[in-house]
Structure 1
Amino acid sequence: MLLLLLVCLIGLQYRLWFGEANLGDVQALQQEIERQRAENDLLVNRNHQLDAEVKDLKQGLEALEERARNQLGMIKEGESFFQLVPALPGKPPADSGQSRNP
């Protein structure tokens, strides 16, 4: 009887450690679940931001105007657009058109 119980215990331990759905597989799946939950949280936050942006675009013209200015480079009639370009490293700044006579 004791031998039969020992064989059953060894068989169950074998399945627990090396069989189908063993402890290593379960732990790997738990890590995958946590990774997927973190990714889902990021996507939920992004969806909330997009939803707020859609509502803002539907309700007001300020968001639409801001998007047109930033993404399409549009300006209002009568406005002046100035683009500042940084100087290249090692190159002196371009002459501004003013003479420098002392």
Structure 2
Amino acid sequence: MFRGLMLILFVLLLGLQYRLWFGEPNLRQIWQLETMIEQQQLQNEQLSERNKQLEAEVQDLKKGLSALEERARNELGMIREGETFFQLVDPQPQARQR
């Protein structure tokens, strides 16, 4: 009788182990999902930081004229009336003469 009980417990243990390693969902799938969750959380943090920077830039553009002027100068080449604009150009390397 003791052997029969041990055999039944052993079969149950094997069945549970089979389900744990090969069933649906198994440990490998759970580990993969945990890795995917960690990667997604990292990406979410990066995007959240980017959103904060963009929000700060939007607020600065809405409230302050200095940021708007800086952007116009850099991107559109704005020059104020009475200012002198100097453009510095790097010299082209001379071609080898033979």
TM exceeds 0.5? yes
**1:1-102 alignment, distance < 5 Å:** 1-89=5-93, 91=94
Offset of 1:30 from its aligned partner? 0.9
Which structure carries more helix by proportion? Answer: 2
TM-score for both structures, normalised by structure 2:
0.82
For structure 2, the 5+ residue unaligned runs are none
Q: Residue type matched to 1:17 in 2?
A: W
For structure 1, the 5+ residue unaligned runs are 93-102
TM-score for both structures, normalised by structure 1:
0.79
User: In the TM superposition, what whole-angstrom CA distance separates every residue of 1:57-97 from its partner, at most 9, and x where no partner exists?
Assistant: 111100100111111222112222222222334x28xxxxx
Offset of 1:15 from its aligned partner? 1.1
Please give the alpha-carbon distance, in whole angstroms, between the structure 2 residues aligned to 1:16 and 1:85.
69
